[in-house]
Structure 1
Amino acid sequence: MRVMVMTKGTGADEGKAQPSQEMFEKMNAYNEQLVKAGILLGGEGLKPSSAGAQVVFAAGETSVVDGPFTESKEIIAGYWIWEVSSLAEAVEWAKRCPFDPRYGATQALEIRPLFDMADFDGIVDSKTLAKGQELHERGGEA
């Protein structure tokens, strides 16, 4: 099963600390373990929300809100895509993540399984599923 593992913190804590040499080394060592275990498919850190925007759809209207999003309870700071045998395996790997308390009082990893086209069998017709799979393959996997 493929999962997305999102690193999360609070909007109020965003950007208060920059990664240190020590933190990069710890995270590189952790990522090396994920690679050696064959589960790391991809992942990146995200720039602060001040560098981003939100496109909001509400009541038939579309609007754009520029960052930062300091009022947000949770900000996604980065992600990994892992191939694991189960959610329990992903949780065990996530517990090993070397978080640094300088990045805020509360940090969390959220783990969410990714859909596969097979999850939609019986809901969506086979032609539409095949087209979705084709687009997924043409767009590349993480």
Structure 2
Amino acid sequence: MPRFMTLIRIDEQAATGFESDPDFEKRMGALFEEITKAGVMLETAGLTPTSQGTRLSWNGGRIGCTDGPFTETKEVVGGYAILQCKDKAEALEWTRRFLTVHPDGWTVEAEVRQIDEAAQPPQA
């Protein structure tokens, strides 16, 4: 079965002011339990703020290094999930359900992309 990576994008500046409703953690826990029991969730995690990150770049034959925070970026990847689904439609449905668990006042975006299994390095 194909694997999909879901990248969760947030406005890091606005996220500091988010207040969750009292049932948010309960709803998220129930969804994670369901998706895990279904054998779909392979891995998920939130990421630390960009202030704790470093970006590396390759340009003109040289490595560049920039420490966070990355103020020029409005939306950042705040977390990810790796799902194993029968097809993209199923991955999108689980991701829709993940998004709707969030409080109405939040802005959260998810990018769903299939993992290119053919591009994987050979196993030693």
Q: TM-score, normalised by structure 2?
A: 0.83
1:69-116, Cα deviation, whole Å (9 max, x unpaired): 13213200101110001111111111111123555xx31111011111
Q: How many residues align?
A: 121
Deviation for aligned residue 1:18 = 6.5
Q: Report the residue type matching 1:48 in the other structure.
A: P
Closer, same or farther in 2 for the Cα pair 1:102/1:25, shift >3 Å? same
Which residue of 2 is the match for residue 99 of structure 1?
102
Distance 1:19 1:50 in 2: 23
Q: Write 1 or 2 for the structure with the bigger share of strand.
A: 2
- Which consecutive residues of structure 1, in runs of 5 or more, have no partner in the other structure? 121-128, 136-142
% identical aligned pairs? 29
Q: Write 1 or 2 for the structure with the bigger share of helix.
A: 1
> Quick check: 1:24 aligned with 2:25?
yes
Q: TM-score, normalised by structure 1?
A: 0.73
In our comparison, the structure showing a higher alpha carbon Rg is 1
Q: Report the residue type matching 1:133 in the other structure.
A: P
Closer, same or farther in 2 for the Cα pair 1:16/1:49, shift >3 Å? farther
Deviation for aligned residue 1:2 = 0.2
